[in-house]
Amino acid sequence: MTEMTYLEAIRSGLKEELERDESVFIMGEDVGLYGGAFKVTQGLFDQFGDKRIIDTPISEAGIAGVAIGAALMGMRPVAEMQFSDFMQAAFDILTNYAAKAHYLWGVKVPLVIRAPCGGGVHGGPFHSQNPEAYYFHVPGLKIVTPSTAYDAKGLIKSAIRDDNPVIYLEHKYLYRRIKEQLPDEEYLVPIGKGKVIREGKHATIVTYGRMVYIAMEAVEELSKDGVEIEIIDLRTVFPLDEELIMQSVKKTYRLLILHEANKRGGVGAEISALISEYAFDYLDAPIMRVAAPDKPVPFASSLEDAHIPDKNKVLESLKKLLKY
C-alpha cells in the first residue's frame, strides 16, 4: 500500500497506462516541461519524452480536434483542459464529432478529456464551473466524477481503456486535500457503477465529487441523534447507475440529491425525474435537491462560500425531508 493524494493518484494512473500501452499519450497546455497547471503530469515528460507528453498551443478546440483525429487513427489520447470551464471552447467538436462518430460510422473513439472542475479555490466565475450537465445531455459521451484517491486512479485507467469518449472531471479542491492508502497492485474502477459509501434507513443522499464530503459531514451530525442516512457516491454521472439509486430509495423512501453545479437543469433534475417516473410509489416525501444557486461562481471568498452547498444547507434540507 502507498499513500497518495487525489492528484498523485491521477498521475499514478496516467503513468501506469503510459507504460502499459504505447498508443496512450497526453496532450494539453503546459502538460510537458511545466508538469500541468496543477502539476498532475509533473515528471511524466522526463520519463516518456515529448512524443508522448505533448505541449500544445492555447486552443481548446484545436486540442480536442487533434485528439479526436488521433483516436480515430488508433491512438488513445488523454487531452488536458487546464480548467473545465474552457471545454466550452471545444463544445462543437466534442458534442458533434467525438460523441456521434461511433453512431454514424461504427468507429472507436478512445479519447479522454481531463478537466479540473469545481469551486472552493477562489478561482472566480471562469475557473470554478461544474460543467457536467452540458455533456450529460449528449448521447455518446461518458462522464466520470471521482471523489476519492482510489476512484481517481481506478477511473482514469478505465477511461483510457474505454473505446468511447470519456470526460474525466477531477475536482481541483480535492487535489491535495484527500489522501488515501492505495494498493500497489493494479486495479480498475468500472465506469457506470456507483457505490454506497454509508448505509442508512431514514433517507438517501445521491451525490458525487467534492459534495460527497459535504454529505458525510451532514450525516455525521444527524447520526448523533440516531438518524441514519444512506449516501450514494455516483462516481460516474453517465452512464448513471439507476439500479443502485432505485434500490436505495425503495429502502429509505426519501431522497435528497446534492451537487455543486447550478440547480436548474442539473444532473439532479434527471435523477429526480427518474425516481418520480419509476419509483414514485415508494416515496414518503417529495424529492429534494441541494445545489448551487443559478448564478456564476463568485470570486470573493465570502460570496463563494455562500454559493457552494455546505453542511448547514444539507442539514436544513434533510430535516425538512425527514419531518414530511
Q: How far apart are CA 105 and CA 300, in angstroms?
A: 48
Select from 82, 133, 154, 143 the least CA-distant residue to 259: 133
Q: What is the pLDDT of residue 278?
A: 95
Main-chain phi, psi angles of 193, to 5 degrees: -120, 120
Alpha carbons 153 and 238: distance in angstroms, whole number: 18
d(CA 240, CA 246): 11
CATH 3.40.50.970 domain residues, the chain: 2-182
Instruction: Centre a 10 Å sphere on the Cβ of residue 285 and count the other Cβ atoms it contains.
Output: 15
3-state secondary structure (DSSP) of residue 200: coil
Domain 2-182 CATH superfamily = Thiamin diphosphate (ThDP)-binding fold, Pyr/PP domains (3.40.50.970)
Assess contact for 152 and 9: CB atoms under 8 A: yes
**CATH 3.40.50.920 domain locations along the chain:** 195-323
- What is the pLDDT at residue 324? 87
Catalytic residue list contains 127: yes
Q: Looking at residue 93, what is its pLDDT?
A: 95
Q: Which amino acid is at 50?
A: D
The CATH number corresponding to 195-323 among 3.40.449.10, 3.30.2130.10, 3.40.50.920, 3.40.50.150 equals 3.40.50.920
Chunk the chain into consecutive blocks of 10 residues (it has 324) and report each block's average pLDDT, rounded to whole numbers. 97 98 97 96 97 96 97 97 95 96 95 96 93 96 98 98 98 96 97 97 97 97 93 98 97 97 96 96 96 95 95 96 92
Q: Please give the DSSP secondary-structure letter assigned to residue 97.
A: I
Backbone angles phi, psi at 266, to 5 degrees: -85, 180
Q: How far apart are CA 294 and CA 129, in angstroms?
A: 12
Which of 269, 258, 245 minimizes the C-alpha distance to 311?
258
* Contacts (Cβ under 8 Å, ≥6 apart) of 169: 84, 115, 117, 130, 131, 132, 143, 144, 145, 209, 237
Amino acid at 15: K
DSSP string spanning 15-50? Answer: HHHHHH-TTEEEEETT-STT--TTSTTTTHHHHH-T
CB burial readout 120-146, b (16+ within 10 A) else e: beebeeebbbbbbbbbbebebbbbbbb
pTM for the model stands at 0.96
Nearest alpha-carbon partner for 36 in 79, 90, 85: 79
Q: How many CB atoms lie within 10 A of CB 102?
A: 16
Say which of 102, 127, 137, 259 is annotated catalytic: 127
Residue 142 in grid coordinates: 461518458
DSSP secondary structure string for all residues of 166-198: EEEEEEGGGTTT-EEEE-SS-----TT--EEEE
- Cβ(235)–Cβ(193) under 8 Å? yes
